[in-house]
């Protein structure tokens, strides 16, 4: 009797141990992949800084500095060291968030990025929300009514979104809606009148002004952000709607959809409760990639609309040969892109049990 009662416990413990070892192995493999990705990102940004034909010493001291001053700054920057030692120093500083000092602003690069990134975050988030809120329903309707009006519209919008350069679209929208019609506010983030009315808390003007009850500043900021957000949102809409249509067409062709229709379920329930629910899993990755693309790819939009975000910061730094700021901003962009990809992968695994095997 005692032998029979001990046998289940004796077999359960090894199973629990095997499960724990398997989970630890998968977590370790995932963390190793993340570490290798970030190490590769650091290596790419480091060697970009060494390959570009810009002398970081001249950017600091100027081209009229005496040779001894040039040499002293060169030694201080560690440019006399072997390349592998320079990379190790760069790696240690980057891991601790030290990207050096900006030549343009004379501030730590990380401090500058923390100051300008909320503007990019606010713009990209609003653009993604617009693109997803319009693109997903349009893609669903296009798939349900294949070859109909909405399907043709989604195809045309997708073609336009992929074909028209975003900077040209931004310039034309400024010309029409700001210069000609006066429906929106002009370039910039806020009129000078409201600059000191809002105390920065989150760095996002819409949220800060609403929190502080500065509604005049809020509506002024909304008038400034709506046009660049719509331009970015149109770019996201073109991508999200096409991918939604593709996923929905694939799901609507599955046997479980036919079975649901045979059972007498309404078309609305078949589409929303069955097909769209399964298509939502890969859609998470699509929206996440679109969001990451807007966060790191809004350089041209920020330049056209004079939006003081990360993209404009990197552009101005590049024009002034400020390589510390350029490399720091580029690395942050890469970290954001990789981070959002990792997050979307985790959500994918969470929502779809099949991917956990």
102 within a domain of the structure (yes/no): no
pLDDT of residue 226: 92
Indicate which CATH number applies to the domain containing 284. Answer: 1.10.3720.10
Angle between helices 109-144 and 149-163 (to 10 degrees): 150
Distance CA 41, CA 48 (A): 11
- The answer to whether 274 and 284 are in contact (CB under 8 A) is no
Q: Are residues 91 and 117 in the same domain?
A: no
Low-confidence ranges of the chain (pLDDT < 50): 1-7, 9-11
Whether residues 146 and 53 share a domain: the answer is: no
Instruction: Say what the pTM is.
Output: 0.80
- 107 in a structural domain: no
Residues 83 and 193 reside in one and the same domain: no
- What pLDDT does 356 receive? 56
- For residues 44 and 131, membership in a common domain is answered with no
Residues 123 and 201 in one domain: yes
Measure Cα distances from 28 to 32, 61, 108, 121, 198 in Å: 6, 46, 34, 31, 46
Number of domains in the chain: 2
State which of 95, 124, 139 marks the end of a domain. 95
- Whether 21 is covered by a domain: the verdict is yes
Domain that holds residue 337: 112-356
Q: What is the pLDDT of residue 4?
A: 46
Closest CA to 325 of 120, 73, 99: 99
Residue 103 lies in a domain: no
Residues 60 and 198 in one domain: no
| 175 and 295 together in one domain | yes
**Residue 106 domain flag:** no
Of 41, 62, 95, at which residue does a domain stop? 95
Count of alpha carbons within 13 angstroms of residue 141, beta-carbon side: 13
Question: What does the pLDDT read at residue 2?
Answer: 46
Residue showing tokens 């001894």: 68
Task: Supply the pLDDT for residue 350.
Answer: 74
Same domain, 83 and 172: no
Q: Which of 36, 60, 95 is the last residue of a domain?
A: 95
In a domain, 15, yes or no: yes
Kindly state whether residues 125 and 255 are assigned to the same domain.
yes
- In this structure, are 167 and 290 located in the same domain? yes
Residues 91 and 16 in one domain: yes
- Scan for tokens 């790191």, then name that residue: 296
CB 160 within 8 A of CB 187: no
Residues 169, 231: contact at Cβ < 8 Å?
yes
Verify that 91 and 121 share a domain, yes or no: no
pLDDT in the model for residue 219: 92
Q: Which of 122, 106, 166 is nearest to 307 (CA)?
A: 122
pLDDT of residue 354: 61
Residue 342 within a domain: yes
Structure tokens at 206: 């819409």
Is 86 a domain residue?
yes
């Amino acid at each position: 009797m005692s032998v029979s009662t001990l046998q289940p416990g004796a077999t359960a413990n090894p199973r629990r141990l095997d499960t724990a070892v398997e989970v630890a192995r998968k977590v370790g493999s995932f963390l190793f992949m993340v570490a290798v990705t970030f190490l590769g990102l650091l290596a790419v940004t480091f060697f970009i800084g060494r390959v570009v034909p810009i002398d970081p010493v001249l950017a600091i001291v100027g081209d009229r500095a005496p040779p001894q001053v040039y040499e002293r700054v060169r030694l201080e920057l560690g440019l006399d060291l072997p390349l592998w030692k320079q990379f190790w120093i760069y790696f240690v500083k980057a891991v601790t968030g030290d990207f050096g000092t900006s030549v343009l602003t004379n501030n730590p690069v990380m401090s500058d990025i923390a100051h300008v990134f909320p503007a990019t975050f606010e713009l990209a988030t609003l653009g993604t929300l617009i693109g997803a809120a319009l693109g997903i329903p349009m893609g669903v309707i296009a798939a349900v009514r294949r070859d109909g009006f909405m399907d043709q519209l989604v195809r045309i919008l997708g073609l336009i979104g992929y074909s028209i350069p975003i900077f040209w679209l931004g310039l034309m929208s400024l010309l029409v809606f700001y210069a000609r019609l006066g429906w929106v506010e002009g370039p910039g983030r806020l009129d000078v009148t409201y600059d000191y009315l809002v105390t920065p808390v989150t760095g996002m003007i819409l949220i800060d002004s609403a929190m502080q009850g500065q509604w005049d500043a809020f509506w002024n900021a909304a008038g400034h952000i709506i046009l660049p957000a719509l331009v970015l949102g149109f770019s996201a809409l073109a991508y999200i709607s096409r991918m939604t249509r593709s996923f929905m067409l694939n799901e609507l062709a599955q046997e479980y959809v036919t079975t649901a229709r045979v059972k007498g379920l309404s078309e609305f329930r078949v589409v929303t409760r069955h097909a769209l629910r399964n298509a939502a899993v890969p859609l998470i990755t699509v929206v996440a990639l679109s969001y990451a693309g807007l966060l790191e790819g809004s350089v041209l939009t920020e330049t056209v609309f004079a939006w003081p975000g990360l993209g404009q910061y990197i552009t101005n730094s590049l024009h002034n040969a400020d390589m510390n700021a350029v490399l720091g901003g580029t690395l942050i962009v890469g970290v954001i892109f990789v981070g959002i990809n990792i997050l979307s992968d985790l959500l994918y695994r969470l929502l779809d049990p099949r991917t956990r095997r």
